[in-house]
Amino acid sequence: MTTVDVPHSSRSVVLTVSGVIEETADSRSIVFDVPDDLKEKFAYKPGQFLTLRIPSDRTGSVARCYSLASSPFTDDLPKVTVKRTSDGYGSNWVCDNIKVGDTLEVLPPSGVFTPKDLDDDLLLFGAGSGITPVMSILKSALSQGTGSVVLVYANRDVASVIFGEELRELTAKYPDRLAVVHWVETLQGLPTARQLATLVAPFVEHHSFMCGPAPFMDAVHDALAILNVPRTRVHAEVFNSLAGDPFTDSAPVELSEEDSADAATVEVELDGEVHKMDWPRKQTLVDIMLAKGIDVPYSCQEGECGSCACTVLEGKVEMDNSEILDPEDIENGYVLGCQSHPVSDFVKIEF
């Protein structure tokens, strides 16, 4: 029995596992019970993820981000799906150890891999466990939206297909709106950019969302580039294993008089509210917002999860680590709040 009684930070909570579903031989879905007093804190958007605190004999714990496969519109409880990887400590621990009744420490939902409008026509790409956030988006769009949904789902073999039965049921329920194309590597080989471009050419006006291993994502990016799909209609979800510990409260920011004297001014729009504050150049945006008591979205503070992605509307910033962002994302003004420092004297940011 895995039991956690007290959370390690003011942001994390302890949730009870109410269900464990064997999706395939090497993947499990974990369903969490959310008490009434936490339902608002754990309200989520399609495509977001949870960060789990996983015990480790070597380091005490590791943090891992797992996408929600459930839909906030069609599922009563949040569900993450985890697939084993050969060298994945977190995924193997979850698949081997988690049982109904266990408790786990969890950070609230986060992430920006979510459609702005569920009425849009959507072209979805998933490979392996990359189907997880895509499935959340697919179910939400069919339930709440009016557009067409096309899914291209790649797997090593037929036995590796996650949510196969659920996809068949949804196709039968929405025959005029949902099309699912399976790509099976053992039968068709690895998909090339040219093959994918030919496959999805009729859907170039759709908004594209992709998640999967890097080679698959590269092929999809190249396919959409061949079809001249604007970068503003292409969205990718990327995860790196977190090296730090987001389950500890950040130390208060201490500023010298020199830091404060040279500060820029930032105007941040978050959840419909505008916050104006000084932004010392040595501090990150997430640091100063936390210091002001603002509930800024973040998880890792290492530039590895994308939770704090935001858009620069005016001014200029520089980032310490921007590897998780595509060059096109950066060109379009996307930055990571936990890695950003002001360059110009005034910056306007939107979350």
Residue spans in the chain of domains classed CATH 3.10.20.30: 257-350
CATH number for 13-109: choose from 2.40.30.10, 3.40.50.10190, 3.30.1490.110, 3.40.50.620.
2.40.30.10
Element (H, E) at 234: strand 234-237
More confident residue, 174 or 308: 174
Q: What is the pTM of this model?
A: 0.85
> Length of the chain, please?
351
Does CATH place domain 122-237 in 2.40.50.140? no
pLDDT at 244 over 80: no
Tell which residue, 224, 156, 212, 226, has the closest CA to residue 189: 156
Query: Contact at 8 Å (CB) between 78 and 68?
Result: yes
CATH number for 257-350: choose from 3.20.20.80, 3.10.20.30, 1.10.3080.10, 3.40.640.10.
3.10.20.30
Residue spans in the chain of domains classed CATH 2.40.30.10: 13-109
pLDDT at 176 over 70: yes
| pLDDT digits 0-9 by tens, 117-160 | 999 999 999 999 999 999 999 999 999 999 999 999 999 999 99
Residues in contact with 339: Cβ distance below 8 Å, sequence separation at least 6, in sequence order: 284, 303, 319, 320, 321, 322
Tell which residue, 163, 134, 132, 130, has the closest CA to residue 149: 134
Could you count the other beta carbons within 10 Å of the beta carbon of residue 10? 9
pLDDT confidence of 20, banded at 50, 70, 90?
Answer: very high
Write the secondary structure of 66-77 as one string of H (helix), E (strand) and C (coil): EEECCCCCCCCC
How high does pLDDT run on average in the chain?
92
pLDDT confidence of 327, banded at 50, 70, 90?
Answer: confident
pLDDT at 251: 64
pLDDT at 258: 66
